[in-house]
Copies of this chain bind each other. A is one copy, B any other.
Amino acid sequence: MSENKILVFGHKSPDTDTICSALVYADLKNQLGEEAEAVRLGEVGAETQYALDYFHAEAPRRVDTVSNETDKVILVDHNEFQQSADDIKDVQILEVIDHHRIANFETEGPLYFRAEPVGCTATILNKLYKENGINVSKKMAGLMVSSIVSDSLLFKSPTCTEEDVQAAKELAEKADINLEEYGLEMLKAGADMSSKSVEQLLTMDAKEFTMGSHTVKVAQVNVVDADDVLSRKDEVLKSMQQEVDSNGYGLFALAVTDILSNDSVLLTSGEQEAAVHSAFNVKLENHEAVLEGVVSRKKQIVPPLTNALS
């Protein structure tokens, strides 16, 4: 491979926005005459695979480290080093395109850093095509609209902004899809939990937080049928309790989010379970509560839990 090639990648445990935004930004860079290749730092999920197949796109190549291949990289959809390649400190970061908070990030020299408080990286990439006067192909439009649908849960998440909605409508037209129909099929493709093991359910999208003096883990899965998970409730709770015991969590919560009704069922384990009552004004029954209208961990679950535990 060429010495000048730039690797473009998103975060570990990649989701649809991270995979598609890497492919899309590498495409824009190539059109601008720069040699860039999208890579990924983890497995492709079922939802993402649906989008890639639909728009006849290949998944990016899987890598674990980058400094063995290049000394120049571009990060999309993340900036915190612990979410990036393990050897990120050994390469020069030329650019970052992101929509998250900035933390644990540092460079030696100036760079292009474009972060905007929107719901999806692809919404920013759509602007970058325009700013650079480059046309968006049908395939790239398809990957971008898939990212926006995924990050916004079809515009139902409170992280979704008016800019995301407008970008999605514009891109759906270029991709020649019915936005609602395609979006729902794509989300459903990633929401079949019946074939997942209990361990997979608890690890596929799990993050740790510090709340007051407690360490809290909040995992989330999207479903179209909550029974995929709830039919195995005893087994799930047992596994959660084991994690609580071995990691000392004050609370472990699994949000089972129904992408059709936009409600979540919360399963909980740990000494601080009572915080769920004060955080959401609901009663836990046998470690289970329904949170109506709650779909966003970042905006609707973590802040009230943090308040209740602080």
Contact = CB atoms under 8 A, between A and B. Distances in A.
A51 to B, nearest CB: 24
Interface stretch (A107-115, A180-188, A214-222): A107-115
Chain A contact patch, size range: 20 to 34
7 A-B pairs with least C-beta separation: A110-B117, A113-B115, A103-B106, A101-B107, A101-B109, A102-B107, A112-B116
A188 B105 CA distance: 39
A118 B109 CA distance: 11
Interface in A116-157: 116-118, 131
A104 interface: yes
Contacts of A109: 101, 117
Copies in the complex: 2
A231 to B, nearest CB: 37
B107 A111 contact: no
A99 interface: yes
A13 B103 CA distance: 26
Nearest to A99: B110
Chain A interface helix/strand/loop/mixed: loop
Contacts of A110: 99-101, 115-118
Contacts of A116: 110, 112
Given A101-B107, A114-B115, 9 more contacts: A101-B106, A102-B102, A102-B105, A102-B107, A105-B105, A110-B116, A111-B117, A113-B114, A114-B114
9 contacts: A101-B109, A101-B111, A102-B102, A102-B113, A110-B117, A110-B118, A111-B115, A112-B116, A114-B114
A83 to B, nearest CB: 14
A131 B103 CA distance: 27
Contacts of A108: 101
A95 to B, nearest CB: 9
Nearest to A130: B131
B103 A112 contact: no
A112 B118 CA distance: 9
A118 B112 CA distance: 9
Interface in A227-271: none
A99 B107 CA distance: 12
A127 B99 CA distance: 21
B102 A106 contact: yes
Contacts of A131: 131
Interface in A1-48: none
A51 B131 CA distance: 31
Query: Which of A106, A110, A115, A117 counts the most B-chain CB atoms under 10 A from its CB?
Result: A110
Contacts of A114: 113-115
A303 to B, nearest CB: 10
Q: Which of A108, A115, A116 has the most CB of B within 10 A?
A: A115
